[in-house]
Amino acid sequence: MDAKTKRSLVLLLCLCLHLKTHVCLAADTIDANQSLSGDQTIVSAGKVFELGFFKPGNSSNYYIGMWYSKQLVSLETIVWVANRETPVSDRFSSVLRISDGNLVLFNESNTPIWSTNLSSTTTSGSAQAVLLDSGNLVLRTAGSNANTSEPLWQSFDHPAHTWLPGARIGFNTVTNQTLILTSWKSSEDPAPGLFTLELDPNGSNAYLIFWNRSRQYWSSGAWDANSRIFSGVPEMNHNYIYNFSYVTNKNESYFTYSVYNPKTISRFVMHTSGQIQQLTWLEISSQWNLFWNQPRKQCEVYDLCGAFGSCNEVSTISCNCLTGFEPKLQRDWNLQAYSGGCKRKTPLHCENATSADGKQDQFLKMVRMSLPENVQSVKVETIAGCESICLNNCSCTAYAYNSSGCSIWIGDLFNLQESTSSDSQGITLYLRLAASEFKSPKSNKGLIIGVVAGSAAGIAILLGLIVVVILRQRKRVTGTGKAVEGSLVAFGYRDLQDATKNFSEKLGGGGFGSVFKGILPDSSVIAVKKLESVSQGEKQFRTEVSTIGTIQHVNLVRLRGFCSEGTKRMLVYDYMANGSLDSHLFHDTRPNVLDWKTRYQIALGTARGLAYLHEKCRDCIIHCDIKPENILLDTELGPKVADFGLAKLVGRDSAGS
Ligand SMILES: *[C@@H]1O[C@H](CO)[C@@H](O)[C@H](O)[C@H]1NC(C)=O
Ligand SMILES: *[C@@H]1O[C@H](CO)[C@@H](O)[C@H](O)[C@H]1NC(C)=O
Ligand SMILES: *[C@@H]1O[C@H](CO)[C@@H](O)[C@H](O)[C@H]1NC(C)=O
Ligand SMILES: *[C@@H]1O[C@H](CO)[C@@H](O)[C@H](O)[C@H]1NC(C)=O
Ligand SMILES: *[C@@H]1O[C@H](CO)[C@@H](O)[C@H](O)[C@H]1NC(C)=O
Ligand SMILES: *[C@@H]1O[C@H](CO)[C@@H](O)[C@H](O)[C@H]1NC(C)=O
Ligand SMILES: *[C@@H]1O[C@H](CO)[C@@H](O)[C@H](O)[C@H]1NC(C)=O
Ligand SMILES: *[C@@H]1O[C@H](CO)[C@@H](O)[C@H](O)[C@H]1NC(C)=O
Ligand SMILES: *[C@@H]1O[C@H](CO)[C@@H](O)[C@H](O)[C@H]1NC(C)=O
Ligand SMILES: *[C@@H]1O[C@H](CO)[C@@H](O)[C@H](O)[C@H]1NC(C)=O
Ligand SMILES: *[C@@H]1O[C@H](CO)[C@@H](O)[C@H](O)[C@H]1NC(C)=O
Ligand SMILES: *[C@@H]1O[C@H](CO)[C@@H](O)[C@H](O)[C@H]1NC(C)=O
């Protein structure tokens, strides 16, 4: 490199650095003569947290928020929001600055829309805002010692939905200030939602989750100061990460916590699902790991699904609208924020006689439902009488009749839940709907069958096409093997001999044969297991192999194909870059190769893989030989169980020996 190039390189670097100082206010502080706007941010001294404008998801609104610095947590994770309810749309013409001793956000038309709201008497001197490494944004008198002087204002006193180590949940009896967590409305709207976590306002020391600050649906139970756990959270006994403490005096009562290992990145979140979640950052997989959440069951969250919604514990989508209803705010439902509830597709006859075919409303029978809120009982002797009472009152939306009599519901139905089929609990509810919602089954049957048959045929053709396309691609990619049974590749012996350089690189040997590393022509890396003492004929071998091939799970090693030529029998698997667990546990001399978080994840993943193998897949297989040698680790140290289903391939005798 000549001197000239060097010079221009230095020049370029300087330019970049110069540009960077424009984007980033150099420091962790907003001084009286500074302001923050556009994509400028401040970063705490130890580069833990960053503060600036952000946009949640696909929303077009901008908020002042705090997140972990990207060096620490690569996923954008907002922990605090200033202007939760007053977003701006143009962050470049909005400005956050010190004004009259307060930190104030001004919108596009220079109107203050958020402020630290201190009266001017408390802020006589000039103030500055400092972002601390704890995630606390502090307003203090300029030049004062941050270590000793009380802050004028701090974000820890105004928590949003995240509880960071060192922050408090509780209340101050002098100022009447409450420190509570409030969920976001949805993943795209940080405005306060319905769910809160707070300290028992009656002063007993437990924390509680509320719906709309009125209805309690979960409690931690009382705090036991000796064992330092909550009575309702016995799993805290095994907690080796968090150190909780409870402080109470005549001025204030609060819970706070710290993490034993200061390197642990951890947070509590009051989630939009109404569950309190405890998450830790897993550097290895670059994701947040859900450590703990409550209430365990999604449907225990009070009125999760809103009016005329019903909660379902089994399906992945927790909320559905009842028959005849549709989401009020489809966009929110897509974001899994269900509390807006559902609205009628067709108005009732009693509400609007013209739009409901002029026919009387009818009742839809719904079995195994939980009782909705706000039931009223009526003294009637028969189910017909019960129905008639409901039908004759336009506000009546549902009724039920059983041994204890007639129950009716007036107005919107809340907190409905479908019982699982195994669970014989639940009542039969009759839901009022417009007559047009009841299609005559006879006239539609032919049509329905036609549609079903038609779409089934369509799907079959489509699937056929997809399979053909996949087969063709597979052939082209591997160039060697023949595809069989749609998902497995039948390799020739020569192909595998070439791929493994004549079985030269041995990875290991198990009870069923040795394993070799190989590289296919498409440069994917494989592990080839040469089976010994296979007693089965080719046909039976292929049948068994195709069964194993259908078993697929993230925590099970994937079978890619096999080879069956003459007496030779081989299995071809994905190659696992990090080898087996035992090599890390027992043979790795480097210290701390697997930290506790990773070990925990490996245990969890292995259990998931086994649970799938034992219970969830179509042809269940009992592993019988689970040990560290059979737990392989992928590039991200994710565990994959290996060597399942082989006992059936090799003879019973040799498997038993
Ligand atoms: C901002 O104010 C600080 C202290 O009041 C001062 O040291 C600094 O020079 C000022 N910066 C500018 C750009 O005026
Ligand atoms: C955001 O928009 C992208 C592109 O339009 C879309 O793929 C994605 O699903 C949207 N995300 C959400 C949460 O709506
Ligand atoms: C700024 O905020 C004020 C008060 O909320 C509002 O009336 C005004 O329309 C906002 N300006 C813009 C450009 O949104
Ligand atoms: C500041 O005070 C005003 C009026 O007292 C209130 O409307 C506003 O919500 C407060 N803002 C904050 C951020 O507390
Ligand atoms: C505050 O405390 C930290 C560590 O205890 C120390 O490094 C720093 O110098 C202190 N700051 C002041 C202004 O005293
Ligand atoms: C706090 O609340 C109590 C009761 O609601 C009230 O009597 C008292 O004046 C309040 N104190 C302050 C500082 O607002
Ligand atoms: C607080 O105490 C009152 C009166 O004893 C009771 O009605 C209320 O349910 C209690 N609140 C909670 C959250 O326990
Ligand atoms: C929650 O409480 C507020 C104030 O008490 C009320 O205006 C609002 O309608 C409530 N929301 C729901 C969904 O009940
Ligand atoms: C747990 O926190 C309390 C209160 O902050 C502290 O006194 C105690 O030493 C901590 N325990 C450990 C093991 O760090
Ligand atoms: C309570 O507050 C008063 C006044 O702010 C203060 O003097 C006192 O020391 C506080 N008591 C405790 C136990 O913190
Ligand atoms: C009744 O329904 C018809 C047709 O949908 C509509 O035009 C009319 O405005 C509705 N009347 C009332 C009172 O809702
Ligand atoms: C419907 O029933 C409710 C509750 O029993 C009652 O308050 C209301 O007056 C009734 N409405 C009519 C129109 O009868």
**Is the minimum distance from the CB of 33 to ligand 1 under 6 angstroms?**
yes
Half-sphere exposure of 337 (CA within 13 A, CB side): 20
- How many Å lie between the centroid of ligand 6 and the Cα of residue 215? 23
Which of 21, 29, 30, 31 most suits a substitution to test ligand 1, by most atoms within 8 Å of the C-beta?
Answer: 31
**Is the minimum distance from the CB of 202 to ligand 7 under 6 angstroms?**
yes
Give the number of the ligand closest to the Cα of residue 245.
9
Report pTM.
0.69
- How many Å lie between the centroid of ligand 12 and the Cα of residue 394? 8
Q: Which two tokens stand for residue 193?
A: 């939602």
Q: Are 197 and 180 contacting, i.e. CB atoms less than 8 angstroms apart?
A: yes
Whether 159-231+240-282 and 19-155 are alike in CATH topology: the answer is yes
Ligand 4 atom 10 nearest Cα: 117
For residue 437, give the 3-state DSSP assignment. Answer: helix
**Is the minimum distance from the CB of 595 to ligand 1 under 6 angstroms?**
no
Ligand 5 atom 2 nearest Cα: 147
Architecture of the structural domain at 482-649:
Orthogonal Bundle (1.10)
Q: Which two tokens stand for residue 285?
A: 């997989």
- How many Å lie between the centroid of ligand 6 and the Cα of residue 176? 6
Give the number of the ligand closest to the Cα of residue 26.
1
Of 38, 40, 44, which is closest to residue 71 (Cα–Cα)?
44
Measuring CA to CA, how many Å separate 483 from each of 462, 477, 491, 494, 568? 19, 11, 8, 16, 18
Residue 82 alpha carbon, nearest atom of ligand 4: 13
**Is the minimum distance from the CB of 31 to ligand 1 under 6 angstroms?**
yes
Give the number of the ligand closest to the Cα of residue 353.
11
The CA-based dihedral angle spanning residues 445, 447, 451, 456, taken in that order and rounded to the nearest 10 degrees = 50
Residue 146 alpha carbon, nearest atom of ligand 5: 13
Ligand 7 atom 4 nearest Cα: 202
Ligand 9 atom 1 nearest Cα: 243
Q: Structural domain boundaries of the chain?
A: 19-155, 159-231+240-282, 309-437, 443-470, 482-649
Q: What is the 3-state secondary structure (H, E, C) of 334-374?
A: HCCCCCCCEEECCCCCCCCCCCCCCCCCEEEEEEEECCCCC
Q: What are phi and psi of 255, to 5 degrees?
A: -105, 145
The answer to whether 185 is a known ligand-binding residue is no
**Is the minimum distance from the CB of 143 to ligand 1 under 6 angstroms?**
no
Specify the pLDDT at position 447: 38
Pocket of ligand 12 (CB under 6 A): 376, 393, 395, 410
Specify the pLDDT at position 445: 39
**Is the minimum distance from the CB of 117 to ligand 4 under 6 angstroms?**
yes
Specify the pLDDT at position 26: 57
Give the Cα separation of 570 and 330 in Å (integer): 52
Specify the pLDDT at position 397: 96
Which of 180, 197, 202, 210 most suits a substitution to test ligand 7, by most atoms within 8 Å of the C-beta?
Answer: 202
**Is the minimum distance from the CB of 153 to ligand 4 under 6 angstroms?**
no
The contacts of residue 275 (CB under 8 Å, 6+ apart) are 293, 294, 295, 298, 301
Specify the pLDDT at position 594: 81
- How many Å lie between the centroid of ligand 8 and the Cα of residue 212? 6
Of 180, 208, 183, 207, which is closest to residue 195 (Cα–Cα)?
183
- How many Å lie between the centroid of ligand 2 and the Cα of residue 56? 12
- How many Å lie between the centroid of ligand 12 and the Cα of residue 375? 13
423 is catalytic: no
Q: Which residues of the chain fall below pLDDT 70?
A: 1-26, 120-125, 146-147, 353-357, 420-425, 440-487, 510-511, 535, 588-592, 617-619, 648-657
**Is the minimum distance from the CB of 175 to ligand 6 under 6 angstroms?**
yes
Helices (H) and strands (E) in the chain, counts: 9, 45
Provide long-range contacts, Cβ within 8 A and 24+ apart, for 219-222. Answer: 220/294
Ligand 6 atom 10 nearest Cα: 176
- How many Å lie between the centroid of ligand 6 and the Cα of residue 154? 21
Ligand 3 atom 6 nearest Cα: 111
- How many Å lie between the centroid of ligand 7 and the Cα of residue 306? 25
- How many Å lie between the centroid of ligand 4 and the Cα of residue 114? 7
Q: Which two tokens stand for residue 256?
A: 């706070």
Tell me the DSSP string of 452-500.
Answer: HHHHHHHHHHHHHHHHHHHHHHHHHHHSSPEEETTTEEE--HHHHHHHT
Q: Encode pLDDT of 538-576 as tens digits.
A: 777 887 787 787 777 888 888 888 888 888 888 999 888
Pick the catalytic residue from 133, 412, 625, 634: 625
Which of 55, 58, 76 most suits a substitution to test ligand 2, by most atoms within 8 Å of the C-beta?
Answer: 58
Ligand 4 atom 2 nearest Cα: 117
Ligand 9 atom 10 nearest Cα: 243
Give the number of the ligand closest to the Cα of residue 356.
11
CA 639 to chain CA mean position, Å: 20
**Is the minimum distance from the CB of 60 to ligand 6 under 6 angstroms?**
no
Ligand 11 atom 4 nearest Cα: 355
Give the Cα separation of 323 and 433 in Å (integer): 9
**Is the minimum distance from the CB of 148 to ligand 5 under 6 angstroms?**
no
**Is the minimum distance from the CB of 21 to ligand 10 under 6 angstroms?**
no
- CATH topology for the 19-155 domain: Agglutinin, subunit A (2.90.10)
Architecture of the structural domain at 159-231+240-282:
Orthogonal Prism (2.90)
Give the Cα separation of 186 and 334 in Å (integer): 10
